[in-house]
Amino acid sequence: MPDIDIRVTGRAGRITLTRPQALNALSYDMCMAIDTALRNWREDDDVDLVILDAEGDKAFCAGGDIAELYETGTKGDYGYGRRFWRDEYRMNAMIFEYPKPVVSFMQGFTMGGGVGIGCHGTHRVVCESSKIAMPECGIGLIPDVGGTLMLSLAPGRVGEYLGLTAGRMGPDDAVFAGFADHYIPRSHWEALIEMLEASGDAEHVKTHAETAPAGGLRALQPEINAHFAGETLGDVLTSLRNADSDFARETLKILGRNSPISMACTVEMLHRLRGPSLNIRKALELEYRFTHRAMEHGDFLEGIRAQIIDKDRNPQWQYADMNVPAVAVSNMLQPLGADALTFEED
């Protein structure tokens, strides 16, 4: 298919996103092509590792292709979106659980759905242009594609901060927060990929790694921990409102643009997931509870309208006063029963 190039070169299974004009946004067909390739290579003795990369300088993958989700959802057809998310999440889990090394090279923007394919592998490479983010609360969704797993594991309350603010991580920030493993300048990638193809040995990635230029996230952690440690979105907002600091004022301004129900559910999800029982399937199953309901009961369609379709940047959110009732959060995250996400392969 024209949007993705899948082949075997040497000892490596190669998956290259080839829609740079669309910032390599993931369509449903691209997700399914990745899924099929991973299944085929899992038992293939000629494939020792998988390499994920993308054409262009601006983005590895700026997210899912949401135009079709909006078009079907506004007509009252929620089935397409539910199928997209369900099958995408299964593919995300397969990458995380893959029995062979998965090496991803993430230049430029890696957001949303791009995080789901690029940040669950064993060797996650960033460069000087990398900008990684989970911006879903700004469109009425929640950090998904397994993003809640990484946010839950981030140091202190950095996960809440990144999930609620959609903060963009440069290379050092991404390594610090657990979204990447290695910083390697972009000019070195081609030679490294050739080495991986020839050898089938993912350990070459580590030998090429360098120290990333310092980011800003580490220095912010004390303030982040102080303000984002509360049990609910309301606790976070109260802490920020009672602080007289540039950080608090700027953070409040950012939160004021995002969907309150999405932010409230994000806080609740991270709190539920933290602990020894956390795994990728648990995170994805909880995320799917929200996304399954996102069009019908959440702010997703309004968020897409305001940010992508009409571009008026003036979404009419539910709970615009930021007072989200606990029952509203509970309703979005209650179990789905027969519609629950499962991971049995068809």
Residues in the chain predicted with pLDDT less than 70, given as ranges, are 346
136 is catalytic: yes
Domains of the chain: 1-346 (3.90.226.10)
Selecting among 144, 173, 197, 223, the annotated active-site residue is 144
Strands 49-54 vs 12-17: parallel, antiparallel or unpaired: parallel
Selecting among 13, 64, 112, 118, the annotated active-site residue is 64
Q: What is the pLDDT of residue 118?
A: 98
Q: Which residues share a beta bridge with 169?
A: 132
Between CA 276 and CA 113 the distance in angstroms is 26
- The structure tokens 């993958």 sit at 61
pTM of the model: 0.96
Q: What is the pLDDT of residue 346?
A: 60
Listed in sequence order, the residues at least 6 apart from 253 whose beta carbon sits closer than 8 Å to its beta carbon are none
Selecting among 113, 118, 146, 303, the annotated active-site residue is 113
144 is catalytic: yes
Query: In this structure, what token pair is assigned to residue 322?
Result: 């930021």
Between CA 305 and CA 322 the distance in angstroms is 20
- Cα 315 to chain centroid, rounded: 22
> Which pairs with CB-CB distance under 8 Å and at least 24 residues apart come from 235-244?
236/160, 236/164, 236/267, 237/322
| HSE, side-chain direction, 13 A CA sphere, residue 239 | 16
Selecting among 48, 136, 181, 268, the annotated active-site residue is 136
- The structure tokens 């989970």 sit at 134
